[in-house]
């Protein structure tokens, strides 16, 4: 009886439990796009029971106990756990897992797990890029990646940017190699930033797999691609807003200018100007609109996937507005198709068309140069409404910048086509053969129309001799056409073997060949076109004249030049690890370059590199250290060549020459030897060494990366001041290129990131990085000091930046100062002890002049007293990124700082009637009035304006690069609109810059190793204010 009772109880309990098992169903989507995710694992926790989502992201799971926990997981996304409480359909949104996505790193010719990477590789994903709204891709890198510095030589729309990885180590080309989906790209303006999935930066010997074009580092960009078994998805990203100048210079107003001129002229030319005058910066700077629109479409079937995007950018300039406009249209298609289970086709196409209206920039004749130098007492227009003329009292080359803008018709048009097609075939499970062909073609056309204009007496910009000349019956306007066509292609063939032995030894072996060729031509012509009768005025032109036909193709060929370079390569890489703890990578590459003579094998180079790593956290003695998720030490060393020199430098070229026959006065044409060739040229070789540490702890919430590096380049390819062949000054075409010199960069990089989800509603991230750089020229192999750069208008000086052993590459070479001469007695005392009887041998001095330092101690000031007075290379750079989201609101901010970089203030005309900065209000005006700012002078004064450290300023700066606040609408509104997600945001770029530098932009640099930091009036970066939308459906 008792047993029967117990049996009954067990049966009742079993029936009760069974009655609590239910069926559940639901759909899993991607949180950011709302797109269904196929293949997601839906598993009952601690069991083997589960299901996967279908093509539409849906799943059904039967016999699920109530209150059990269901785990939803998918590669690249954060897993979720849900308690089963009822049979209501579940809607699950998976967030992308940034850490999981970065676990696979793109390296040269392949990928690798982050844990197994032994080189210095930094990764930037699309989420970080989207928060910045960059017009160009390079802008997204600044401050985000340790060891990478981005500078601009102009803030003008469409202007290029300079990327430097771990500084400069050559006086030649310091640009990194850039590959987009494996295709070499020289200009990132072709790419829409919204199309990017990831950016990987190779900074050490890891780049050696790419050989001679990778000496300055490698940037690998992967664009967005579709997913197989996915529905059609549309993503729209658009913003619109306005831009203003980020800075105006503090210049003298009309009253202070008049006082200064009177002071300088010693009141002999008394200047009375009671009006407020003209603020010329207000006249040339304006509020400029900017609009960007991007559409991306993606999807896939069981065997194929695609992603296609189009974008349009329209940006006016903050100087000149439409006269400085930039338009860019891009189109991209990425496609992949599984022909067989083991054979995959990949095809990517990128098309870009851009048009840019240009204004004169940088130095004499530039719009901003004129705006900061022109007399503020002068009106924009005279009483008749005609543009006013600049001073003809002095013949200085300063013209009315507003008239200059109106008369500017200069357009650059660029069309670029890029494509990649490849096949991957896998056989015997462990072998994969890859063949990939990549190509680029570009056509560049500069169209310039120069109307007949008159800006004032003696102005070099005049195209007529006088105002009355504009009233002639016949007017000739000048037209100029310049252009370039270039094509390059790369054909890579690879075979990869991957295997694991005894579950302990992982081995990957890569063998590859690469053929690369680039060729092109430059062409142009100049002519004058008869227009006909015209009315009196300041300039003669109309829209019809601007758009009239230019030159025939035959005429353009008259000024043509061409280039052709080739590279053939063989390479291998072996990657090995034991239990994921002990890591090894070794690379050997053989390059044959057409840039060097085959004589004595100078065109052949062998470049080895290797790296090792140790995952300490996987050791048994670390198992008790639970708070550390990963700790890895790594080291690398490699030798990489560099062949980036002008084409045909090893041969003496014949250049076209013209001369006059003395007897007949006929103009004769012929050929003459140009720059002497150097058949002994060989590769630059860069040795790079790196020691690094990767650390992740506290459940991967904190990530730390630290690297110490050393880059040394020897056998520099440089052009000395005297011929390396003859030992004397070369012909007008210049001396030969030679191998001479060694440059070294050493430094330290540190990056730390904190990412945490405090709750389902609140998420926070903070990332900080800094980089130090110590640059030094080690030797020049006895060659004459290479110099570069030009300074001064009025007292023109060349060679003010130099390359000298023991000093930084491109340091500034001039006179050091030690205050101001206060009295004539002080000057007389120095003259009395000077060996030559005159303390200053470069020019007479007077009270109020700068006091130069006698650096060599010979008792007088001579050219030999010039010394190092600064350099443009920063001592350190810093990046800070912060972001958080609370429920539907998100916030992000990005800042960048550069410390220790100097700039040369060379945008000031040294003339009585040229304007000055307000610092001249603190000028010396008598004994004891100033010991830092010299006296006013009526023209160029050798003791003030010869190149010295008064014109060199600390250009360290801190810039708030971006702030963005966004709001993502809730599910109710999104569903009513029939879309997957809808977000709006406001954003500001370059909101403020903190710096003591007087000029427009402390971050500007031409990128040239010699002369890069000379500021001739850099176009400032724009501060922009945007309203944007992200829409997915």
Which residue do the tokens 């206060």 mark? 822
Name, in order, each residue with C-beta under 8 angstroms of 664's C-beta and a sequence gap of 6 or more. none
Strand (E) or helix (H) holding 518: strand 505-532
- Residues 379, 873: Cα–Cα separation, whole Å: 41
The DSSP call for residue 190 is G
- Residues 361, 320: Cα–Cα separation, whole Å: 12
pLDDT tens readout for residues 683-735: 889 999 999 999 999 988 999 999 999 999 998 887 765 433 333 333 445 67
pLDDT tens readout for residues 973-989: 888 888 888 999 999 99
Burial of 517 per CB tally in 10 Å (0-12, 13-18, 19+): middle
| pLDDT at 774 > cutoff 90 | yes
pLDDT at 391: 63
- Residues 951, 945: Cα–Cα separation, whole Å: 8
- Residues 637, 524: Cα–Cα separation, whole Å: 46
Please name which of 100, 97, 75, 93 lies closest in space to residue 31, comparing C-alpha atoms. Answer: 93
pLDDT at 317: 95
Which residue do the tokens 């000054």 mark? 729
165-168-174-179 Cα dihedral, nearest 10 degrees: -10
Cα angle for residues 151, 130, 705 (degrees, 5° grid) = 65
CB 123 within 8 A of CB 112: no
Please name which of 941, 812, 789 lies closest in space to residue 866, comparing C-alpha atoms. Answer: 812
Which tokens in the block code for residue 297? 């479409």
Average pLDDT, the chain: 85
Which tokens in the block code for residue 129? 């890029």
Ramachandran bin of 699, using left for φ above 0, alpha for ψ from -120 to 50, beta for the remaining angles = left
Burial of 284 per CB tally in 10 Å (0-12, 13-18, 19+): buried
Tell me which range, 39-43, 120-124, 645-649, is most confidently predicted by mean pLDDT. Answer: 120-124
Distance of CA 1025 to the CA centre of its chain: 21
Q: Reduced to 3 states, what is the DSSP secondary structure of residue 102?
A: coil
Decide the pairing of beta strands 183-184 and 196-202.
unpaired
- Residues 825, 338: Cα–Cα separation, whole Å: 90
Name, in order, each residue with C-beta under 8 angstroms of 971's C-beta and a sequence gap of 6 or more. none
pLDDT tens readout for residues 98-116: 555 457 888 889 888 888 9
Cα angle for residues 213, 485, 561 (degrees, 5° grid) = 90
pLDDT tens readout for residues 18-54: 447 888 888 888 876 677 888 788 888 878 778 888 8
CB 247 within 8 A of CB 1001: yes
pLDDT at 213: 86
Over residues 182-186, the mean pLDDT reads 88
Decide the pairing of beta strands 787-791 and 762-779.
unpaired
pLDDT classification of 537: cutoffs 50, 70, 90: very low
Over residues 185-197, the mean pLDDT reads 87
Over residues 106-135, the mean pLDDT reads 87
14-30 CB burial, b ≥16 within 10 A, e <16: eeeeeeeebebebbbbb
pLDDT classification of 17: cutoffs 50, 70, 90: very low
What 50-56 contacts at long range (C-beta under 8 Å, 24+ apart), as own/partner pairs, is: 53/27, 53/28, 55/229, 55/230, 55/231, 56/27, 56/231
- Residues 161, 806: Cα–Cα separation, whole Å: 29
Strands (DSSP E) found in 89-203: 90-94, 104-107, 110-113, 121-125, 148-152, 161-165, 177-180, 183-184, 196-202
- Residues 526, 544: Cα–Cα separation, whole Å: 19
pLDDT tens readout for residues 211-230: 888 989 999 999 998 888 88
Over residues 488-511, the mean pLDDT reads 94
Strands (DSSP E) found in 318-430: 321-340, 343-357, 409-427
**Percent residues over pLDDT 90 in the chain:** 50
Which tokens in the block code for residue 361? 């920039």
| pLDDT at 460 > cutoff 80 | no
| pLDDT at 269 > cutoff 60 | no
pLDDT at 14: 44
pLDDT at 536: 35
Neighbours of 758 (CB within 10 A): 10
Ramachandran bin of 405, using left for φ above 0, alpha for ψ from -120 to 50, beta for the remaining angles = alpha
pTM, two decimal places: 0.86
pLDDT at 648: 73
Over residues 948-957, the mean pLDDT reads 94
- Residues 18, 37: Cα–Cα separation, whole Å: 32
Please name which of 1032, 1023, 1028 lies closest in space to residue 986, comparing C-alpha atoms. Answer: 1028
- Start-to-end Cα distance in the chain: 68
Neighbours of 278 (CB within 10 A): 20
Tell me how far CA of residue 329 lies from CA of 138, 215, 313, 828, in angstroms: 18, 32, 7, 68
Name, in order, each residue with C-beta under 8 angstroms of 208's C-beta and a sequence gap of 6 or more. 214, 587, 589, 607, 608, 609, 638, 639, 640
pLDDT classification of 960: cutoffs 50, 70, 90: very high
CB 650 within 8 A of CB 597: yes
| pLDDT at 645 > cutoff 80 | no
CB 106 within 8 A of CB 131: no
| pLDDT at 1015 > cutoff 80 | yes
Q: Reduced to 3 states, what is the DSSP secondary structure of residue 939?
A: coil
In SS3 terms, 986-1026 reads as EEEEEEEEEECCCCCCCCECCCCCCCCCEECCCCCCEEEEE
Domains assigned to the chain: 2-96 (2.60.40.1120), 787-875+905-945 (no CATH)
CB 142 within 8 A of CB 150: yes
pLDDT classification of 1020: cutoffs 50, 70, 90: very high
pLDDT classification of 885: cutoffs 50, 70, 90: very high
pLDDT at 668: 54
Name, in order, each residue with C-beta under 8 angstroms of 773's C-beta and a sequence gap of 6 or more. 166, 167, 745, 747, 873, 874, 875, 876, 877
Please name which of 105, 202, 109, 106 lies closest in space to residue 589, comparing C-alpha atoms. Answer: 109
672 or 488, which is more confident: 488
pLDDT at 671: 59
**Percent residues over pLDDT 70 in the chain:** 86
């Amino acid at each position: 009886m008792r047993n029967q009772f117990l049996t009954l109880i067990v049966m009742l309990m079993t029936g009760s439990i069974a009655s609590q098992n239910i069926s559940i169903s639901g759909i899993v989507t991607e949180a950011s796009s709302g797109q269904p995710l196929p293949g997601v694992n839906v598993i009952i926790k601690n069991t083997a029971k589960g299901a996967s989502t279908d093509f539409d992201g849906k799943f059904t799971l039967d016999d699920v106990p109530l209150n059990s926990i269901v785990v939803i997981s998918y590669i690249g996304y954060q897993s979720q756990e849900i308690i089963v409480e009822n049979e209501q359909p579940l809607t699950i949104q998976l967030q992308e897992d940034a850490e999981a996505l970065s676990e696979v790193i793109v390296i040269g010719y392949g990928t690798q797990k982050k844990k197994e990477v032994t080189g210095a590789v930094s990764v930037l994903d699309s989420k970080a890029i989207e928060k910045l709204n960059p017009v160009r891709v390079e802008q997204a890198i600044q401050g985000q990646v340790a060891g990478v510095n981005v500078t601009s030589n102009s803030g003008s729309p469409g202007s290029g940017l300079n990327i430097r990885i771990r500084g400069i180590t050559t006086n030649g080309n310091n640009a990194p190699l850039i590959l987009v989906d494996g295709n070499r790209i020289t200009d990132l303006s072709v790419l829409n930033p919204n199309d990017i999935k990831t950016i990987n930066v190779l900074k050490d010997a890891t780049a050696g797999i790419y050989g001679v074009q990778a000496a300055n580092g490698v940037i690998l960009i992967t664009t967005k691609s579709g997913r197989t078994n996915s529905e059609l998805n549309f993503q729209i990203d658009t913003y619109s807003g306005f831009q203003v100048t980020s800075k105006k210079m503090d210049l003298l107003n009309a009253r202070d200018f008049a006082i200064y001129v009177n002071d300088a002229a010693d009141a002999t030319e008394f200047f009375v100007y009671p009006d407020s005058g003209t603020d010329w910066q207000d006249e040339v700077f304006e509020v400029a609109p900017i609009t960007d629109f991007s559409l991306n479409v993606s999807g896939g079937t069981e065997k194929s996937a695609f992603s296609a995007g189009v974008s349009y950018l329209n940006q006016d300039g903050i100087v000149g507005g439409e006269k400085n406009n930039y338009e860019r249209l891009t189109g991209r298609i990425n496609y992949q198709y599984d022909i067989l289970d083991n054979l995959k086709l990949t095809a990517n196409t990128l098309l870009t068309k851009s048009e840019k209206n240009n204004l004169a920039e940088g130095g004499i004749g530039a719009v901003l140069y004129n705006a900061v130098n022109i007399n503020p007492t002068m009106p924009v227009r005279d009483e008749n409404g005609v543009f006013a003329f600049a001073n003809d009292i002095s013949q200085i080359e300063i013209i009315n910048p507003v008239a200059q803008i109106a008369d500017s018709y200069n357009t650059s048009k660029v069309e670029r086509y890029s494509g990649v097609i490849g096949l991957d075939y896998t056989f015997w499970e462990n072998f994969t053969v890859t063949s990939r062909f990549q190509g680029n073609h570009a056509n560049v056309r500069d169209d310039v129309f120069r109307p007949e204009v008159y800006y004032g007496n003696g102005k070099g910009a005049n195209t007529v001799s006088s105002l009355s000349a504009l009233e002639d019956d016949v007017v000739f306007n000048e037209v100029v056409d310049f252009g370039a066509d270039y094509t390059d292609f790369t054909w890579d063939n690879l075979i990869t073997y991957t295997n694991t032995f005894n579950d302990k030894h992982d081995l990957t072996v890569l063998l590859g060949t690469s053929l690369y060729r680039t060729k092109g031509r430059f062409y142009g012509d100049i002519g004058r076109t008869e227009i006909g009768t015209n009315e009196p005025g300041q300039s003669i032109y109309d829209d019809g004249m601007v758009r009239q036909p230019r030159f025939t193709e035959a005429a353009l060929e008259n000024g043509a030049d061409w280039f052709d370079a080739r590279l053939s390569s063989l390479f291998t890489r072996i990657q090995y690890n034991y239990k994921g703890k002990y890591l090894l990578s070794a690379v050997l590459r053989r390059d044959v370059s057409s840039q060097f003579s085959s004589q004595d094998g100078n065109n052949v180079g062998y470049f080895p590199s290797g790296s090792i790593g140790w995952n300490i956290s996987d050791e048994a003695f670390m198992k008790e250290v639970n708070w550390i998720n990963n700790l890895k030490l790594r080291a690398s060393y490699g030798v990489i060549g560099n062949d980036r020199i002008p084409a045909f430098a090893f041969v003496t070229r014949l250049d076209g020459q013209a001369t006059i026959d003395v007897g007949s006065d006929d103009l004769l044409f012929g050929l003459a030897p140009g720059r002497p060739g150097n058949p002994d040229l060989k590769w630059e070789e860069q040795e790079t060494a790196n020691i690094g540490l990767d650390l992740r702890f506290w459940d991967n919430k904190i990530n730390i990366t630290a690297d110490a590096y050393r880059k040394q380049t020897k056998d520099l390819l440089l052009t000395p001041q005297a011929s390396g062949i003859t030992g004397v000054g070369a012909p007008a075409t210049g001396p030969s290129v030679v191998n001479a010199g060694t440059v070294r960069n050493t430094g330290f990089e540190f990056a730390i990131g904190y990412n945490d989800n405090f709750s389902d509603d609140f998420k926070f991230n903070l990332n900080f990085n800094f980089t130090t750089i110590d640059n030094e020229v080690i030797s020049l192999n006895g060659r004459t000091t290479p110099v570069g750069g030009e300074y001064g208008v009025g007292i023109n000086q060349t060679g003010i930046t130099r390359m000298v052993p023991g000093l930084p590459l491109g340091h500034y070479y001039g006179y050091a100062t030690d205050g101001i001469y206060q009295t004539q007695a002080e000057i007389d005392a120095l003259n009395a002890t000077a060996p030559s009887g005159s303390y200053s041998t470069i020019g007479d001095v007077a009270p109020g002049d700068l006091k130069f330092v006698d650096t060599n101690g010979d008792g007088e000031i001579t050219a030999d007293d010039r010394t190092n007075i600064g350099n443009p290379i920063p001592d350190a750079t810093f990046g800070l990124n912060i972001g958080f989201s609370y429920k539907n609101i998100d916030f992000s901010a990005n800042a960048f700082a550069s410390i220790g970089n100097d700039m040369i203030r060379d945008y000031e005309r040294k003339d009585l009637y040229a304007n000055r900065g307000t610092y001249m209000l603190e000028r010396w005006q008598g004994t004891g009035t100033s010991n830092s700012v010299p006296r006013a002078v009526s023209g160029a004064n050798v003791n003030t304006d010869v190149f010295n450290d008064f014109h060199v300023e600390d250009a360290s700066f801190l810039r708030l690069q971006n702030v963005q606040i966004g709001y993502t609408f809730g599910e109710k509104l999104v569903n009513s609109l029939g879309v997957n997600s809808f977000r709006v945001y406001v954003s500001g770029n370059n909101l403020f810059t903190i710096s003591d530098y007087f000029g427009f932009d402390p971050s500007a640099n031409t990128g040239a190793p010699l002369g890069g930091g000379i500021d001739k009036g850099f176009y400032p970066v724009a501060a922009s204010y945007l309203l944007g939308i992200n829409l997915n459906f």
